[in-house]
Amino acid sequence: MTTDNVVTVRGLRKTYGLGPGAVTAVDGIDFDIARGEVFALLGPNGAGKSSTVEILEGYHDRSGGTVTVLDADPQHLHGGALRDWKARIGIVLQSPNEQNPLTVRQMLTQVAAFYPAPRAVDDVIAAVGLAEKASSRINKLSGGQRRRVDVALGIVGRPELLFLDEPTTGFDPEARREFWGLIRSLQAEGTSILLTTHYLDEAAQLADRVGIIAAGKLVDIGSVDEIGGAEARVPLVRWHEGGEVRERRTHEPGRLVAELGARFAGEPPALEVIRPSLEDVYLELIKQTRADAAAAAPEEALA
Amino acid sequence: MSTIALGLVRTKYEFIAYFREFDALFFTFLFPVIMLGIFSAAFSGMSDLGAGDAKVNFATYYLPAMAAAGILLSGVQNLAVRIAEEKSDGTLKRLGGTPLAPLSYFAGKLLTALVTGAMQLVLLMLFSHFLFGVALPTDPARYLDLLWIFVLGILTCGLLGIALSAVPRTGRSATAVVIPLVLFLQFISGVYLPFSQLPSWMQTVASLFPLKWLAQGMRSVFLPDQFKTLEVGGAWNLGAVALVLLGWLVVGLVVSRLTFRWIRKDA
């Protein structure tokens, strides 16, 4: 049975340990990723992002719920069927730190051989901007350059579905923008992508939709422009008056600015009109979730 | 690509990496050669060792011991430590996310051990011959024995190394777990001390493990035939050498197959 979704997750739960000491990392999550979509999973450290992603990648078994990735349940694949499935996905793990004495080209040539229809190694090296370092040993590269190698290894197998777990950690701003270009070209070729990142501008740039996880639960999910609801998008007008910073949320910032202009008989001091970015919306959602959790369990908040 | 072909691809890159890692090169590849040099130089002033009317110098006596030790190091020590480190530093997690079969990974490790072990053995023989005047065997039958003992020994030790790699909890503790075990085996199995001079209970304990038999097989290749009178039962007993090594090969294969994981699975 083939659907248009490359990933379907329903009621996903993951508990580590047993008995009273058990920790619930993922506590009932639902989401889909459509074919060709870039979906970003956002959330604070320890929210359950990596647990979720590693279950989808087949590294961990889940404690509950159902998962379908490329029409298969990774937990129940074995042998040749598992390898055929792995040939269709690409994985960029969070910060591996192996001491790899092979050169960039050697490592990519090796890994490309594992796949039935790999990309050309030199094209991939050029795409991640490492053409000048192709003959350097990986353990002699800088942190940001090694991360590019990780990305190159993730895409060399020509995956239908690419997992990117905090791919741009250690990139300088220029490298990050080059990386965004690479992701857009992969998407243009039809690659579906699951991205986790701490850089909200990155998610805003790349993702078609985002899901926000906090404390193992999906707090919100939607397109970058809609997430957090209309209320969270209300523009903020900020100015200085009477020696202090004044702020007001309004659907009509133009009218407010005009009023201020009239009141100050000229330019209002330090005037700003702010449209909340994805980062502002995200921080507000996380703050609300924490407040709700504290209200629900006041004794824990005191402890 | 087939599992076997991918095993060969892995072998190529394992081999390149092997010679770029100083630790492996020194403690696995050159160690037996260096030990042979030290022993031979230290005891060069002493009278030759004899069995009946056959006499050999110390270098000749230690060559088979170091040949066996080299197989143990290339197989058990190097693979157990390396795989535990690869599990710890994320190398295996990355490979586990690709379509590579564990069997291809094993094949790469074993073939690399086979090639580097063979190079080590040849180096040991040339070193002892040209520096210490060790007379190498001239009978082709001895080389045939050397071939099967080496191949069986390296495959057995390699599989035991893969099996043992599951024991250390971290890459950093791997050497602390593996090296004492390997040293202990070498002492009781007649690698550093002449086996015939060990107490009989120690000989009995050593007989349970493959190294004693590997060393015995190597002595049959490199020592004059009269030296078999020093062995337990007064014979080389190559049939038992083959049986014990095969037995441990099966143990290594089964344990590796059952315990190998790309990553440490959570509860």
pLDDT at A3: 59
Indicate the pLDDT class of residue A303, thresholds 50, 70 and 90. very low
Length of chain B: 267
Judged by CB atoms closer than 8 Å, whether chains meet at A86 and B99 is answered as yes
Please give the average per-residue pLDDT across A191-211, as a whole number: 92
Confidence at residue A298, expressed as pLDDT on a 0 to 100 scale: 60
Mean of pLDDT values over B235-248: 95
3-state DSSP of chain A: CCCCEEEEEEEEEEEECCHHHCEEEEEEEEEEEECCCEEEEECCCCCCHHHHHHHHCCCCCCCEEEEEECCECHHHCCHHHHHHHHCCEEEECCCCCCCCCCEHHHHHHHHHCCCCCCCCHHHHHHHCCCHHHCCCEHHHCCHHHHHHHHHHHHHCCCCCEEEEECCCCCCCHHHHHHHHHHHHHHHHCCCEEEEECCCHHHHHHHCCEEEEEECCEEEEEEECCCCCCCHHHCCEEEEEECCEEEEEECCCHHHHHHHHHHHHCCCCCCCEEECCCHHHHHHHHHHHHHHHHHHHCHHHHHC
Q: How many angstroms separate the CA atoms of A203 and A118, rounded? A: 27
Give the closest of A16, A93, A102 to B16, CB-based.
Answer: A102
DSSP B134: P
Helix (H) / strand (E) element for B54: namely: strand B54-56
Question: Between these two residues, B246 and B190, which has the higher pLDDT value?
Answer: B246
What is the greatest pairwise CA distance in chain A?
76
pLDDT digits (tens, 9 = 90+) for B126-147: 999 999 889 999 999 999 999 9
Band the pLDDT of A301: cuts 50, 70, 90.
very low
Q: Where does the pLDDT of residue A281 fall: very low under 50, low under 70, confident under 90, or very high at 90 and above?
A: confident
Chain A environment of B264 (Cβ under 8 Å): none
What average pLDDT is seen over chain B?
A: 90
Report d(CA A147, CA B260) in Å as an integer.
Answer: 28
- B5 CB-near residues (< 8 Å, 6+ apart): none
Give the model confidence (pLDDT) of A219-250 as tens digits: 999 998 888 777 778 888 999 988 888 888 88
- What lies within 8 Å, CB to CB, of B83 at 6+ separation is B92, B109, B161, B162, B165
Q: Residue B267 belongs to what H/E stretch?
A: none
Q: Mind listing the pLDDT tens digit for each residue in B78-121?
A: 999 999 999 888 899 999 999 999 999 999 999 999 999 999 99
- pLDDT of residue B175 exceeding 80: yes
What pLDDT digit, counting tens, does each position of A89-142 carry? 999 988 667 788 999 999 999 999 999 999 999 999 999 999 999 999 999 998
A140 touches chain B (CB under 8 A): no
Which of A59, A89, A153 is facing B263, going by the closest CB pair? Answer: A59
Say whether pTM exceeds 0.95. no
Query: Quick one: pLDDT at residue B240?
Result: 94
pLDDT at A16 over 60: yes
pLDDT at residue number A2? 53
Please report which confidence band the pLDDT of residue B267 belongs to, taking 50, 70 and 90 as the band edges. very low
Quick one: pLDDT at residue A95? 67
pLDDT at A267: 86
Which residues from A are below 8 Å from B97, CB to CB? 57-59, 86, 89, 91, 93
pLDDT (0 to 100) of residue A299: 55
Q: Return the structure tokens found at B51.
A: 């069995």
> Is the confidence at residue A157, as pLDDT, over 80?
yes
Contact A102 B13 (CB under 8 A): yes
* B219-230: pLDDT as tens digits: 999 999 889 888
Q: Contact at 8 Å (CB) between A200 and A42?
A: yes
| Percentage of residues in chain A having pLDDT higher than 70 | 96
Chain A residue at shortest CA distance from B90: A96
List the single best residue of B10, B21, B98, B112 to mutate versus A (max A Cβ within 10 A): B98
Which chain A residues touch B12 with a CB distance below 8 Å? 110
Reply yes or no on whether the pLDDT at A49 is more than 70.
yes
Q: What is the mean pLDDT of residues A185-189?
A: 93
pLDDT value of residue B222 = 95
Q: Which chain A residues contact residue B96 at CB under 8 A?
A: 59
Chain B nearest-CA residue for A96: B90
Statement: residue A300 has pLDDT above 80: no
- Give B36-87 pLDDT, tens digit per residue: 999 888 887 777 777 777 788 888 989 999 999 999 999 999 999 999 999 8
- DSSP letter for B195, please: G
pLDDT of residue A96: 67
Please say whether the beta carbons of A138 and A132 come within 8 A: no
Could B265 and A83 be called an inter-chain contact, meaning their C-beta atoms sit closer than 8 Å? no
Nearest to B6 among A107, A113, A137 (CB): A113
Q: What percent of chain A has pLDDT over 90?
A: 53
Between A193 and A261, name the one with better pLDDT. Answer: A193
Choose, out of A54, A114, A140, the residue to mutate when testing the contact with B (most B CBs < 10 Å). A114
CA–CA min distance B90, chain A (Å): 5
CB contact under 8 A, A57 and B97: yes
Going by the DSSP 8-state scheme, the letter that residue B138 receives in this structure is -
Tokens (6 digits) for B197: 């001079």
| pLDDT given for residue B71 in this prediction | 96
> Which positions ≥6 away from A264 have C-beta within 8 Å?
none
- Contacting residues of A for B81, CB less than 8 Å apart: none
Q: Which helix (H) or strand (E) holds B139?
A: none
Structure token digits, residue B84: 């535990």
Report pLDDT for B152: 97
Bridge-based pairing of strands A244-249 and A209-214 is unpaired
Instruction: Name the CA radius of gyration of chain A, rounded.
Output: 23
Interface of A with B in 68-107 (CB under 8 A): 83-84, 86-87, 89, 91, 93, 96-102, 106-107
The pLDDT, as a whole number, for residue B64 is: 95
Q: Which residues of A touch B6 (CB under 8 A)?
A: 113-114
ipTM of this predicted structure: 0.87
List Cβ neighbours of A283 (8 Å cut-off, separation of 6 or more). Answer: none
Task: Give the model's pLDDT for residue B197.
Answer: 87
pLDDT, mean over chain A: 89
**Tokens matching residue A159:** 């995956």
